[in-house]
Structures are given as structure tokens and as C-alpha cells.
Amino acid sequence: METIVEQLTKYVVKANENKQALCIRGGGSKDFYGNPKGLHDSKLETGPYRGIVDYDPTELVVSARAGTPLNELESLLSEHGQMLAFEPPDFNGTATLGGCIASGLSGPRRAYTGAARDFVLGIKLLDGQGRILNFGGRVMKNVAGYDVSRLMTGAMGTLGVLLEVSLKVLPKPESERTLCFELPVEQALETMRRCAGKTLPVSASCHIDRRLYIRLSGIESAIDAAHVKLGGDEFGDSLSFWESIKNQTHPFFRGNKRLWRLSLKPTAPPFSITGEQAIEWGGALRWFAAAKDYDATAVRAQTEKAGGHATLFRGKDPNIPVFHPLPPDLLKIHQRLKRQFDPAGIFNPQRLFPEF
């Protein structure tokens, strides 16, 4: 019988011959994400290619097939007291490892322990010509060849089909506690920055609904000491609060609002534009729920001024590119790389940028 990889390869080879656009799809939890024109009818389903390939807790490395459900992977790690330290969102619970890495999205812990790309050690990739390629590996340090593994992280599947991924994992903290402060946005930002410059066991921060939440992780005695230094009230429902931020089920994210994700220099002042805002990552990530008619160009201009980029995360508009447009010289490099990995342009065309 034909294996799943053989099937996937056959589809890709055929699509490459016919220049047929393919939509690579794992669990479909991120169908909402990316340019709507990039959601092509022909789906290349990676969900069936699932399962853990190798996991040895003492190596701090796990390898799994792209279709492995994220929650399955995370519960296996949890059994061994380990975790994906970038705390990826799984949205409706159907997210797969492949989609997690292809979208490159990281959760509340990102500013303190690193992003999805920081933990990628190796990949197995199906390229546009139907070749199966291996990059990186299962070791922490590896500088042989260009870092193609990390290049795939956040490429939204435009460079190839992820088949397998190896990730560095970390031990789960012994204990966690969330502190809560009633603070206006300026003071909340200031507190977040003060924390960043000190050796405090902070693992998440979020300002939402005029409250600042700071999560501490580690051993109990270190959390106690940090709590004394920072003050604030202990917030009871820590676990479900951070889940609601990670997966955007918190009331702030609900409704048909147009939701912008602004990634900028953490010290940037609060945005002067009207609309509701939530702040994460020590100030480096700001969610902005704009009124429908708010000018996208103005949002992008302000974000650029603040050293960052703006993504129209939810609430698509056919006239607004979802991802922040690239300057021409960078776009040129992107287009050339795209041609090298996917000469016929079959993988998720336009999902990332309208130009390819």
C-alpha cells in the first residue's frame, strides 16, 4: 500500500506539473489566518501524517510528524514534566505541529523563553519538486549549512510541506502564580519593562481591561521572593486566564471586530489611535481591536514608527493585505527564495503575500 508520504509526494509532483495551487492544511485551526485569497480549493491534507517519531526526555528533544495534534504532543511532554516553552496557541483544539511551525505563532511565554523558531532544531521537508529534504537535526547546536529549518517557521507553508519537525523542549516549572494589578496602560508598560531588566521569574505579562497580569514560574521560594518585590494580588484562576489569552477566547478577542496584531519595540508608548488594546510580551505585542472603518494605512504607519509590523490577524478585508508589506529589496529576496523552493508556485500562493 502507498504510504502517506508517497501520496503527498505524488500530489505535489502532479501539482508542480500542472502549476496547480495547493492549500496545505493540518487541523484547519488557522483557516482564519493569512490572506483569504491564499485559501485554495485543492487541499493538501497533512493531518493523516501523524505520530511521535522520537522522544527522549533526557535529550530535551522531541521529533514528530507534522499532522500530530499539538495537544497530543503537549500531553506526552507533560507526562514527562516537559513542555513546548513557546506556549503555542491551539485555538479550537485541532491545531497540528506542522501548522504550529508553519504559522510560527507563539503564546504568552514567548517574551521570556523564546519563540517557536527558537526551539526548532530540524525538519523534514517536501519541496515544490517533490523532493524530500532533511535540514538541521536532533542536536541543540548545529551550524552545518544554512538554517533552513528556522526559515520554514512562520513561512506559512509557502516554501514547502513540513513532514516532520524536531523541537527542543524544556522542563515545566514546578509552580506558577499570577499577580494582578489595577493599573492604567502607561504604568502597566512601565512595570513590564522594569521586570524585563531584572532576574525575576516572570513567564508572561498581559495588560487587559485596565488590569496588569504577571505570571511567575519556577520554584516556590523564588516565586515568593518575586511576589514580595512586585507586590500585587494573587489571581486565582491563573491557568484558564492564560489559556484564554493564548487561544484568544478572552472576551476582549471575541466578536466580529477587526483585530490587529502589532509587534513592536517593547518600549513604544501606548498607541494614540482609538480602539480597545491589550498588551502582552512585556510591551512587545499589542492587540488592537479597531472599528471596521479604521484606516489600515494609519495603523501600519504607526507600527512602523514604533519599530515593528502590523498583521490584520482577524476580520479580513480583501483590500488589506494581512501581513505587513515588505520593502522592495526584501520582497525581491523573498520571491527568489520562493522560486528556489517552489518553482511552479504551488504552495499556498498569496497566503503570506499577494506577490507570491
Partner 1 sequence: MRHANLVEAFQNILPSESVLFEPEDLRPYECDGLSAYRQLPMIAVLPGNEAEVIEILKICEAEKIPVVARGAGTGLSGGALPHADGVLLSLAKLNEILEIDPVACTARVQPGVRNLAISEAAETYGLYYAPDPSSQIACTIGGNVAENSGGVHCLKYGLTVHNILKLRVLTIEGDVLEIGSEALDSSGFDLLALMTGSEGMLGIISEITVKLLPKPETARLVMAAFDDIEKAGAAVANIIRAGIVPAGLEMMDKMTIAAVEEFIHAGYDPDAEAILLCESDGSNEVVANEIEKIRDIMHESGAVRIDTAHSDAERQRFWAGRKAAFPAAGRVSPDYYCMDGTIPRKHLAEVLRRIEDLSLEFGLRCMNVFHAGDGNLHPLILYDANRSGELEKAEAFGARILEICIEAGGSLTGEHGVGIEKLNQMCLQFGDAERDLFHAVKAAFDPDSQLNPGKAIPSLRRCAEFGAMHVHRGEEKFPDLPRF
Question: Per CB under 8 A, which of residues 230..269 are in contact with partner 1?
Answer: 263-267
Phi, psi of 215 (to 5 degrees): -100, 130
Segment interacting with partner 1 (CB under 8 A) among 90-98, 137-145, 238-246, 251-259: 137-145
Range 177-216, binding partner 1 (CB under 8 A): 193, 196-201
Supply the minimum distance, in Å, between the C-beta of residue 19 and partner 1.
Answer: 19
Short-list 53, 170, 168, CA closest to 121? 168
Instruction: Give the binding-site size for partner 1 (rule: CB under 8 A).
Output: 91
Interface with partner 1 (CB under 8 A), residue from 9, 153, 191, 277: 153
**DSSP state letter for 141:** -
Range 300-329, binding partner 1 (CB under 8 A): 307-309, 311, 323-327, 329
Segment interacting with partner 1 (CB under 8 A) among 37-45, 94-102, 125-133, 271-279: 125-133
176 binds partner 1 (CB under 8 A): no
Contacts from 221-224 at CB under 8 Å and sequence distance 24+?
223/175, 223/176, 223/177
Q: Which three cell numbers stand for residue 311?
A: 498583521
Measured between alpha carbons, how far is 356 from 339 in angstroms, rounded to an integer?
Answer: 9
Supply the minimum distance, in Å, between the C-beta of residue 58 and partner 1.
Answer: 4
Q: How far is CA 305 from CA 34, 190, 300, 331, in A?
A: 23, 20, 9, 20
Interface with partner 1 (CB under 8 A), residue from 48, 78, 93, 139: 139
Supply the minimum distance, in Å, between the C-beta of residue 173 and partner 1.
Answer: 9
Interface with partner 1 (CB under 8 A), residue from 5, 180, 337, 344: 337
**DSSP state letter for 324:** P
Query: Contact letters (x/-) for partner 1, 85-124, by CB under 8 A?
Result: -------------------x-----xx--xx-xx---x-x
DSSP structure string for 73-108: HHHHHHHTTEE-TT----TTTT-BHHHHHHHT---T
Supply the minimum distance, in Å, between the C-beta of residue 355 and partner 1.
Answer: 11
Query: Taking the C-alpha atoms of 306, 310, 313 and 319 in order, what is their torsion angle to the nearest 10 degrees?
Result: 140
Supply the minimum distance, in Å, between the C-beta of residue 47 and partner 1.
Answer: 20
Range 44-73, binding partner 1 (CB under 8 A): 53-54, 56-61, 63
Nearer to partner 1, 17 or 56 (CB): 56
List all residues 6 or more positions away from 270 whose beta carbon is below 8 Å from its beta carbon.
185, 186, 189, 277
Supply the minimum distance, in Å, between the C-beta of residue 251 and partner 1.
Answer: 25
CB 281 within 8 A of CB 205: yes
143 binds partner 1 (CB under 8 A): yes
Nearer to partner 1, 258 or 261 (CB): 261
Nearer to partner 1, 141 or 292 (CB): 141
Segment interacting with partner 1 (CB under 8 A) among 37-45, 168-176, 231-239, 290-298: 168-176
332 binds partner 1 (CB under 8 A): yes
Interface with partner 1 (CB under 8 A), residue from 278, 285, 290, 346: 285
* b/e 237-255 (16+ beta carbons within 10 angstroms → b): ebeebbbbbbbbebebbee
Range 18-37, binding partner 1 (CB under 8 A): none
Residue with cell string 516565586:
223
CB 274 within 8 A of CB 291: yes
